[in-house]
Chains A and B, each alone.
Chain A
Amino acid sequence: MKSRRGLSSVVGAVFAVIDLSTTIGYVTYSMNVLDKYNQSILATNANAVDRSKEQIQISHISIDSNKFNITASNTGSIPIHLTRFWITNTTDVGKVFRYDIDYNLAPGQSQIKIGQSLPIYAKSNQAYDLKLITDRGNIKEFNVNSVGSVPLNIQLLALPPTVASGFKTELVMAVTNNGTSTLTNLVPVLTQNGSPTATCTPDPISSPSIYDTLPPGNTAIFSWAVKITGTTDGQTCKFGAQLQNGYNNNFGNVTITENYVSLTSTSYAQNAGLLTMNYTLFKWTQGNQWNSGWEMPNGNPTAFSIKLTNNNSTQGTNFYISKNSFVLILRPGSANTVPFYIVQNVTVSSTISISSSQQYTSCPSNDWCANVPPNKSTTLYFAASGSGGSAVQKLPNVAETEASFLLLMGKFSATPGGSGSFYAQNLPYLAINIT
């Protein structure tokens, strides 16, 4: 009886084991399904993240040999596989072309000449909608428009707008692509409008002569040098600039006005001042030390120190100063003038003196001893009573306010012995108060 009673327990236990194992199996299965579900979600998310990480930049578009020449760069952080290329001609509606391509781009890598091997011809006077498709399904869409398909923001500026006769100004044409598509083949055309009263001669070709492409938001800058000549103030030339095969009536205008400069013996320096002096560095000495300021005792031997700047920026155009240059002191109401000729330097002790090596004749050519290089400054000394002399000039022996100016004669030349371009200029105005 004992053994039969145990049989029921065994049978019950068997069923319990079956139920338990079924439940465990179900739970295990459920967890596996859940795990697979999670894995699938993760994989899907990873694909979505990868898709969002794909970045393609079109760094170049042009039409070469009547075919598209496109450079696409992978600017993202994951590899990209370009699988298809769509070309839709938006000028000639209904022409849609699809090409299978196979370009793998590692991050940072570029693929050049996309479109050069495709059997489609592109016309620079037509507009196209282009698409590159990746194997993850991303689409890089961009447009190629001819300049004649949309009006652009075109500005023409003269820098400066007013120039002296015989000088050049710069015409600057700024073309801003205010659209959303890349423009191709931008060639500027400059024309003179109306009836000019001055004579204007622009460069025949702009610099640069062409922009192959202009991405959206970018600006192309073209420039021409224009020489203007005239005979009276206010004469003008009018210019207009547009793009070759551009949108109708889409251009920029500018007027250049001529400022007539009379270069006479009395006005040359004021109009053509290539040399300037730094008034704040003007110094004088009558011995012991160099002094600033404009007041100096009368009747004493005196030397002046003046810092001169050569504003001519042309290389090789050093301004070599003639020994005949001087600071001239004019006594008001008197015919007497007192010149202080240029010297190479002065010796400043209790008095001032000019040694033989400091005279303006102690250089190889006996003249042109000092020079001011282009766009540089040099300190000059004026002290001699005669040209190239060693005697120190004295101030007038009266207490009065004098007018004075610096008269410079010289030449722009590469060497002291070169012929160069002779040039003279007076630099007003040194007011000296002799006490």
Chain B
Amino acid sequence: MHSVRHDKRSRRGIATVVTSAILLTTVTLMGTGVVAWSNSNLFGHERVLESSYSTNINKINEYLTVENVWFGGIGPSQFVNITMNNPSTIGLNVTQIQLKTSTTSISQQFTNQPVLPKNSISVQFSYPYTSQVPVSIYITTARGSIFTTQALPP
């Protein structure tokens, strides 16, 4: 009788331990899962935010002026020379220069045409201009900014 009572008490104790262990395990697993999920989620958002921030800020800070445009050459060797100045504090990469008149549109692509901060570059390429016909110049950067100006061939 005494031993039966003893066995009953010890069995009841095991169940409690098992229950506690299950509870603890469950809490641990859930906590770990939630923490892992939240970290992953929040860090992911942080990365997106950082990327978005740097992209937008750089695009906002990007600034380019066209210092001078001059046209030269005769006949088939006509060319245009464009000097661009980057007065901003971040570097930029010119990827395309488009020259448009009322009747023509010519694009010049560039793979690597960096303009360092507080520096200027000149690019020259073949362009069959017509005298006294205004040309609109669109300069596109790697970040997608477009800077425009106009010039009048002599």
Contacts and interface: CB of A to CB of B under 8 A. Distances in A.
Nearest to A87: B68
Contacts of B30: 15
A33 B53 contact: yes
Contacts of B32: 15
Contact of A26 (B42, B53, B63, B81): B42
Interface in A66-119: 84, 86, 88, 90, 93-94, 96, 98
A19 B35 CA distance: 6
Nearest to A45: B60
Given A11-B31, A23-B38, A135-B118, A40 B57 contact: yes
B132 to A, nearest CB: 12
B87 A135 contact: yes
A5 B63 contact: no
Interface residues of A, number: 41
B46 A26 contact: yes
Contacts of A1: 16, 20
A22 B87 contact: no
Secondary structure type dominating chain A contacts: helix
Interface stretch (B1-9, B21-29, B100-108, B137-145): B21-29
Contacts of A14: 31
Interface in A2-30: 4-5, 7-8, 11-12, 14-16, 18-19, 22-23, 25-26, 29-30
B114 interface: no
A29 B67 CA distance: 40
B20 A40 contact: no
A262 B27 CA distance: 130
B68 A131 contact: yes
A133 interface: yes
A37 B53 CA distance: 7
A22 B81 contact: no
Contact of B31 (A12, A25, A37): A12
Interface in A127-169: 131, 133, 135-139
A94 B81 CA distance: 10
B148 interface: no
**Which of B60, B61, B68 has the largest count of A CB atoms less than 10 A from its CB?**
B68
Given A93-B72, A93-B154, A22 B35 contact: yes
Contact of B85 (A30, A33, A41, A137): A137
Interface string B56-84: 11001101010110101100000001010
A11 B27 contact: yes
A37 B57 contact: yes
10 contacts: A8-B24, A15-B35, A22-B35, A23-B42, A29-B46, A33-B49, A33-B50, A37-B57, A84-B67, A137-B87
Given A8-B20, A11-B31, 19 more contacts: A1-B20, A4-B16, A4-B17, A7-B20, A18-B35, A25-B42, A26-B45, A33-B49, A44-B61, A86-B67, A88-B70, A96-B72, A98-B83, A131-B67, A131-B68, A136-B87, A137-B65, A137-B87, A139-B65
Interface of B: 16-17, 20, 23-24, 27-28, 30-32, 34-35, 38-39, 42, 45-46, 49-50, 53, 56-57, 60-61, 63, 65, 67-68, 70, 72-73, 81, 83, 85, 87-88, 118, 120, 154
Interface of A: 1, 4-5, 7-8, 11-12, 14-16, 18-19, 22-23, 25-26, 29-30, 33, 36-37, 40-41, 43-44, 47, 84, 86, 88, 90, 93-94, 96, 98, 131, 133, 135-139
